[in-house]
């Protein structure tokens, strides 16, 4: 694991960028904000190349469709947060809102969380960028459904040839939800993300490597995987359902998101959290706090015991 940490640090350090002072370009901010709206989404993941000896790529791809509303929940000069809300319609029941992932974009961010956990360890190393490395870049911190961190990378928005896109530094992340209860043959993903605006919305490309990193041996690549999630703008009455839900629940989740964000940003070397504390699951604790519509101070007091920062 130490070798993997040193390797990712060297990759990040090598990506030194020329200094670019001042506020973020307006076209960068416009590109990020353009990802908001109501979308018909198709999620597609497919293993493409076997790297490890004896491994055979899985023959079936992962494909799902959804209606997803992306709403702007924070918009300041140097930070934009987009919250994704899935809306499902169970048979013979009212539509149900599922709080999905969030994108937290920060201009010239010098603190990046690099996943370094294993098994059930939820741990991230705090990588510090120099001002020169961060100049002209945006970090993208992606959170999980409970607003704990999932991964973070950084890169520049590029606007050329009629296209606007952002490509991240290589970033490690835990096993995806679609596999973490089904697979034990690899330990984390190493991913390069690209967000590209299109005429009908935007696409999220993921160039994934499934990495085996255990014991005293060197980390090895099991296989490559391609991810392509397409977001096409649409009109849906479900958007009103999602936005009404967010009006009610958003203030609570703002407090939760800001708690985890601050916990990660202030950790001196590593940031980690436990899923159980004093016999109570973190998920159960957050659900109770949401039911109580707890304010930010109550959220902070309740969740702080789950956090370890070193």
Asked if residue 123 has pLDDT above 60, the reply is: yes
Centre a 10 Å sphere on the Cβ of residue 31 and count the other Cβ atoms it contains: 22
pLDDT score, position 285: 96
Mean pLDDT of 88-104: 89
Q: Examine residue 119 and state whether it is found in any structural domain, yes or no.
A: yes
Q: Examine residue 56 and state whether it is found in any structural domain, yes or no.
A: yes
pLDDT score, position 50: 98
pLDDT score, position 202: 98
Please give the mean pLDDT across all residues of the chain: 91
Cα→Cα distances 222→28, 150, 185, 225, Å: 36, 21, 8, 10
Mean pLDDT of 213-219: 86
Q: Examine residue 274 and state whether it is found in any structural domain, yes or no.
A: no
Q: Examine residue 266 and state whether it is found in any structural domain, yes or no.
A: no
Q: Examine residue 300 and state whether it is found in any structural domain, yes or no.
A: no
pLDDT score, position 17: 39
- Coil, strand or helix at 238: helix
List pLDDT tens digits, range 284-301: 999 999 999 999 999 999
**Band of the pLDDT at 91, cuts 50, 70, 90?**
confident
| Owning domain of residue 164 | 2-243
What pTM was computed for the model? 0.90
Asked if residue 208 has pLDDT above 70, the reply is: yes
List pLDDT tens digits, range 15-71: 433 434 578 999 999 999 999 999 999 999 999 999 999 999 999 999 999 999 999
List pLDDT tens digits, range 149-196: 999 999 999 999 999 999 999 999 999 989 988 999 999 999 999 999
**Band of the pLDDT at 282, cuts 50, 70, 90?**
very high
Centre a 10 Å sphere on the Cβ of residue 140 and count the other Cβ atoms it contains: 23
List pLDDT tens digits, range 249-275: 999 999 999 999 999 988 889 999 999
| Three state DSSP letters for 2-18 | HHHHHHHHHHHHHCCCC
Q: Which residue has the higher pLDDT, 197 or 308?
A: 197
Query: What's the total number of domains in the chain?
Result: 1
The residue among 33, 15, 34 whose CA lies nearest residue 136 is: 15
Instruction: Transcribe 67-132 into DSSP letters.
Output: EEEEEEEEE-SSEEEEEEEEEE--TTS--EEEEEEEEEEEET--EEEEE---TT-EEEEEEEPPHH
**Percentage of the chain surpassing pLDDT 70?**
92
**Percentage of the chain surpassing pLDDT 90?**
82
Apex CA 205: angle with CA 110 and CA 242, to 5°?
85
Q: Which residue has the higher pLDDT, 23 or 310?
A: 23
pLDDT score, position 310: 66
pLDDT score, position 119: 67
Ramachandran region, residue 202 (left: φ > 0; alpha: ψ -120 to 50; beta: rest): beta
Q: Examine residue 249 and state whether it is found in any structural domain, yes or no.
A: no
Q: Examine residue 230 and state whether it is found in any structural domain, yes or no.
A: yes
Helices (H), 267-303: 282-291, 296-303
Q: Examine residue 88 and state whether it is found in any structural domain, yes or no.
A: yes
pLDDT score, position 10: 46
Q: Which residue has the higher pLDDT, 58 or 4?
A: 58
């Amino acid at each position: 694991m130490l070798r993997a940490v040193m390797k990712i640090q060297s990759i990040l350090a090598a990506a030194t960028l020329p200094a670019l002072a001042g506020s973020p370009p307006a076209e960068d901010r416009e590109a990020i904000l353009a990802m908001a709206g109501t979308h018909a989404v198709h999620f597609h993941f497919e293993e493409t190349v076997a790297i490890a000896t004896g491994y055979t790529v899985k023959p079936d791809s992962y494909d799902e469709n959804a209606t997803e509303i992306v709403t702007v929940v924070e918009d300041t000069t140097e930070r934009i947060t987009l919250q994704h809300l899935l809306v499902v319609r169970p048979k013979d029941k009212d539509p149900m809102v599922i709080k999905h992932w969030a994108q937290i974009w920060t201009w010239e961010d010098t603190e990046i969380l690099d996943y370094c956990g294993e098994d059930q360890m939820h741990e991230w190393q705090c990588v510090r960028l120099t001002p020169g490395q961060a100049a002209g870049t945006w970090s993208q911190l992606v959170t999980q459904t409970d607003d704990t961190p999932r991964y973070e990378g950084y890169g520049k928005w590029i606007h050329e040839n009629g296209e606007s896109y952002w490509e991240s530094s290589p970033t490690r992340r835990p096993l995806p939800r679609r596999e973490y209860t089904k697979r034990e043959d690899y330990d984390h993903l190493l991913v390069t993300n690209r967000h590209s605006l299109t005429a009908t919305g935007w696409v999220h490309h993921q160039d994934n490597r499934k990495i085996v990193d255990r014991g005293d041996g060197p980390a090895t690549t099991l296989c490559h995987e391609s991810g392509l999630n397409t977001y096409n703008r649409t009109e849906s009455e479900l958007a009103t359902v999602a936005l009404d839900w967010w009006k009610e629940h958003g203030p609570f989740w703002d407090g939760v998101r800001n708690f985890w964000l601050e916990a990660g940003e202030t950790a001196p070397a590593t940031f980690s959290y436990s899923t159980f504390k004093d016999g109570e699951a973190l998920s159960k604790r957050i659900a109770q706090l949401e039911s109580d519509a707890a304010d930010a101070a109550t959220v902070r007091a309740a969740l702080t015991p789950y956090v370890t920062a070193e």
